[in-house]
């Protein structure tokens, strides 16, 4: 009798099957071979029929080479740090694709010589913030602050209010970042109140700079007091203002959120912020300021270690020059528009549309609520939706799953309905 296992194809035979050619081009031969090996082991064990080998491989292969999974953000949090903060605009995505090959990031095509790196993004930043004499881009907001304090205060003192000793996500503390630059912190004032005299008394020959940190992810209320950038600028030392969220100009929706332009006009020598928050661009650290100080930062050896890549520069420039980015649209969408969409989605699911309070997120606008609308569903659907295709992340409130539509593009409403129907089916709930 012939052993049926003799009919099992060799690994290389399956890998080279024409039906897998597209997957190999998309994922690479190593990834395809790993799945082929896995499925063939199941064939040998008798749990997979031989004639289903290639189809099982196709079913098992991932959709993309990266393990990052696209998510429909139905949390109502616009700048959700765990979901990647700001979504790029279509213009920024196109710019990233164009920059993925050879580009003139550091080359003058007309003259055939080396050129200033990322000059397009730097020009766009300068146009966006006319109050800045010079600009620098690094790889994130923390890097921008690190480069600034290293340049101005390494081996010297940084004067900072105790009320601005901020810890952000994942136990990351800005005081630790600043001391890692070789500076010493001179804390002034108290947690809830600091006055100008506190700073003035602390400033001396060893002062490198004054740092003003916007406490972007919390609020202190009651008997409080802080010192403005304009007041600090009268003390005769350079002021670094970290405004955090990347707001370039004042935003009426967020009246308590500091912006880059106002801080510069108020006399800050340097202003630092993030590019992937309220600006709505890629992760980047933005530095604006007085020409002499920014030039020192640009020439500092640390600047090379902190610089961003061509993809970031391309996306940043397109964000600044292109159409309104998704983060801005999500912030400003009208509640009645969200209500109409939520009612349509809810009707398609036999569910209920309910009021929902969104949030800015990303350390911006603490305490600011964004009135909107959501679709209310049974809480047990949350876990199933998170691992579905597409993956959907909502929030649990009042024992229900709320799918807030603020950050869901309108053209994804049908996909959202389909994802919920699929999730209901998986756990045996009626689809409507």
Phi, psi (rounded to 5 degrees) for 59 = -65, -30
Average pLDDT over residues 401-429: 95
Percent above pLDDT 70 for the chain: 97
Mean of pLDDT over the chain: 93
pLDDT-derived band at 216 (thresholds 50, 70, 90) equals: low
Which among 270, 218, 219, 273 is positioned nearest to 249, based on CA atoms? 273
The pTM score is 0.91
pLDDT of residue 6 exceeding 80: no
Average pLDDT over residues 226-232: 95
d(CA 73, CA 386): 10
Q: Which CATH number fits domain 88-323: 3.40.640.10, 3.50.50.60, 3.40.50.620, 2.40.50.840?
A: 3.40.640.10
- 170-209 pLDDT, tens digit per residue, is 778 888 999 999 999 999 999 889 999 999 999 999 999 9
Numbered ranges of CATH 3.90.1150.180 in the chain: 71-82+328-426
The reported pLDDT for the residue numbered 1 is 47
Numbered ranges of CATH 3.40.640.10 in the chain: 88-323
- 236-284 pLDDT, tens digit per residue, is 999 999 997 889 999 999 988 999 999 999 999 999 999 999 999 999 9
- 368-390 pLDDT, tens digit per residue, is 899 999 999 999 999 999 999 99
pLDDT-derived band at 364 (thresholds 50, 70, 90) equals: confident
CATH of domain 71-82+328-426: 3.90.1150.180
pLDDT-derived band at 429 (thresholds 50, 70, 90) equals: confident
d(CA 187, CA 211): 10
- 131-175 pLDDT, tens digit per residue, is 999 999 999 999 999 999 999 999 999 999 998 888 877 778 888
Average pLDDT over residues 56-83: 93
Which among 11, 86, 2, 7 is positioned nearest to 54, based on CA atoms? 11
pLDDT of residue 367 exceeding 90: no
Average pLDDT over residues 13-21: 92
pLDDT-derived band at 3 (thresholds 50, 70, 90) equals: low
Q: For 319-353, b where at least 16 C-beta lie within 10 A, e where not — what string?
A: bbbbeebbbbbbbebeeeebbebbebbbebbebeb
Which among 92, 185, 137, 174 is positioned nearest to 288, based on CA atoms? 137
Residue linked to tokens 């047990």: 380
pLDDT-derived band at 312 (thresholds 50, 70, 90) equals: very high
Residue linked to tokens 């010589």: 113
């Amino acid at each position: 009798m012939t052993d049926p296992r003799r009919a099992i194809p060799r690994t290389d035979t399956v890998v080279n099957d024409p039906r897998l050619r597209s997957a190999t081009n998309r994922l690479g031969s190593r990834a395809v071979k790993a799945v082929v090996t896995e499925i063939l082991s199941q064939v040998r064990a008798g749990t997979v029929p031989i004639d289903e080998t290639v189809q099982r491989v196709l079913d098992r292969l991932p959709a993309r080479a990266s393990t990052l999974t696209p998510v429909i953000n139905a949390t109502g949090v616009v700048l959700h740090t765990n979901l990647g903060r700001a979504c790029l605009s279509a213009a920024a995505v196109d710019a990233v694709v164009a920059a993925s090959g050879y580009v003139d990031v550091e080359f003058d095509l007309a003259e055939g010589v080396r050129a200033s790196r990322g000059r397009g993004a730097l020009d766009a930043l300068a146009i966006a913030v006319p109050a800045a004499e010079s600009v620098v881009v690094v790889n994130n907001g923390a890097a921008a602050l690190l480069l600034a304090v290293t340049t101005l205060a390494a081996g010297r003192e940084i004067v900072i209010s105790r009320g601005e000793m901020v810890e952000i996500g994942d136990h990351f503390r800005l005081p630790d970042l600043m001391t890692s630059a070789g500076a010493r912190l001179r804390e002034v004032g108290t947690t809830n109140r600091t006055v100008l005299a506190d700073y003035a008394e602390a400033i001396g020959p060893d002062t490198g700079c004054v740092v003003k940190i916007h406490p972007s992810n919390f609020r202190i209320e009651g008997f409080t007091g802080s010192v403005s950038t304009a007041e600090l600028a009268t003390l005769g030392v350079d002021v670094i203002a970290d405004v955090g969220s990347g707001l370039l100009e004042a935003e009426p929706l967020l009246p308590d959120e500091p912006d880059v332009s106002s801080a510069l006009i108020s006399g800050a020598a340097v202003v630092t912020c993030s590019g992937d928050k309220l600006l709505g661009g890629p992760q980047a650290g933005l530095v604006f300021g007085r020409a002499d100080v920014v030039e020192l930062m640009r020439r500092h050896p640390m600047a090379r270690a902190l610089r961003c890549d061509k993809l970031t520069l391309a996306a940043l420039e397109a964000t600044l020059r292109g159409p309104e980015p998704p983060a801005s649209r999500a912030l400003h969408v009208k509640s009645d528009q969200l209500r109409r969409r939520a009612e349509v989605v809810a009707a398609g699911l036999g569910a209920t549309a309910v009021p929902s309070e969104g949030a800015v997120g990303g350390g911006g606008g603490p305490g600011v609520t964004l009135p909107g609308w959501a679709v209310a569903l049974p809480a047990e659907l949350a876990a199933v939706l998170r691992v579905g295709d597409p993956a959907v992340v909502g929030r649990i409130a009042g024992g229900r799953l709320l799918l807030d539509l603020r950050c869901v593009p309108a053209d994804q409403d049908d996909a959202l309905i389909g994802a919920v129907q699929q999730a209901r089916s998986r756990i045996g709930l009626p689809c409507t």
